[in-house]
């Protein structure tokens, strides 16, 4: 009888735990959905002469900057030789931050392991920065062009630089791997922890906020960013009369 009561009590505790977990997950999703619509306004200076882009592959958001200008020459740190193609003719470089396990061990969703997802959700794994070189950038519903001031651009550069993990000499740390996506990308060690509240899109969104651009108050998904640029997307896709 005592064993039966103990088992019954255990099932009751387990049931309550599952119910609490489900409620917490629902609350997390609901809050994440609605908070993404709250806009942090841009604070623009009069001069807006540097072009950057916000780009998504439908899931993951990158911040795209010119490879070099008077403020920063990224090729001094992100070497073309780190890519398979070693093509030095690119004009832009994209930065994305995320869970290292997802980046290196999950080329497709079919390759996703429970251990990788578990570590990512609960902040138990390392992070990495994924960089990609581009010759040209095409605006579309998943790629928005922004014109920002030099001072705001400096803030964006500082934000990205601070996301790299560095060695004892202060140099960023290239991850030598064959798990790249093409001929023009490379991975680097990053700081920070990926988790339920800090995703790849949260990182990009925080970069926009750091450089005084429009952004979500907080977002988990790329849609939370692009919602606030829907007018710019519509304008770029509208046919122009010649």
pLDDT digits (tens, 9 = 90+) for 177-209: 999 999 999 999 999 999 888 999 999 999 999
Specify the residue for token string 């072009």: 51
Residue 67 covered by a domain: yes
Residue 2 in this model has a pLDDT that exceeds 60? no
pLDDT digits (tens, 9 = 90+) for 20-77: 445 445 555 556 667 899 999 998 776 888 999 999 999 899 999 999 999 999 999 9
Number of domains within the chain: 1
List the strands of the sheet with 143-148, edge to edge.
143-148, 50-56, 61-66, 92-99, 127-134, 185-189, 174-175
Residue 14 covered by a domain: no
Rounded Cα gap, residues 164 and 166, in angstroms:
6
The residue range of the domain holding 56 is 35-235
pLDDT digits (tens, 9 = 90+) for 78-132: 999 999 999 999 999 999 999 998 888 865 555 556 565 566 565 667 999 999 9
Residue 69 covered by a domain: yes
Q: What is the pTM (predicted TM-score) of this model?
A: 0.86
Give the list of residues 6+ apart from residue 77 with CB closer than 8 angstroms, or none. 171, 172
Does residue 213 contact residue 148 with C-beta atoms inside 8 Å?
A: yes
Q: What is the DSSP string of 127-149?
A: EEEEEEEES----BTTEEEEEE-
């Amino acid at each position: 009888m005592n064993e039966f009561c103990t088992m019954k009590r255990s099932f009751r505790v387990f049931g309550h735990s599952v119910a609490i977990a489900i409620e917490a997950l629902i609350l997390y999703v609901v809050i994440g959905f609605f908070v993404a619509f709250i806009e942090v306004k841009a604070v623009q200076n009069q001069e807006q002469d540097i072009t950057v882009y916000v780009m998504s592959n439908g899931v993951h958001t990158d911040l795209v900057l010119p490879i070099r200008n008077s403020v920063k020459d990224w090729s001094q740190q992100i070497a073309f030789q780190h890519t398979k193609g070693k093509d030095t003719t690119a004009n832009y470089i994209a930065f994305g931050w995320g869970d290292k396990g997802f980046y290196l061990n999950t080329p497709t969703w079919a390759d996703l392991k429970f251990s990788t997802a578990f570590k990512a959700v609960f902040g138990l794994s390392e992070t990495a920065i994924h960089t990609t070189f581009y010759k040209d950038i095409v605006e579309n519903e998943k790629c928005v062009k922004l014109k920002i001031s030099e001072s705001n651009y400096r803030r964006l550069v500082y934000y990205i630089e601070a996301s790299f993990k560095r060695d004892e000499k202060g140099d960023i740390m290239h991850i030598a791997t064959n798990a790249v996506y093409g001929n023009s990308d490379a991975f680097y060690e990053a700081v920070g922890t990926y988790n339920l509240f800090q995703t790849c899109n949260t990182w990009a969104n925080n970069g926009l906020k750091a450089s005084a651009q429009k952004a979500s108050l907080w977002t988990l998904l790329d849609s939370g960013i692009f919602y606030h640029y829907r007018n710019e997307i519509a304008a770029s896709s509208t046919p122009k009369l010649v």
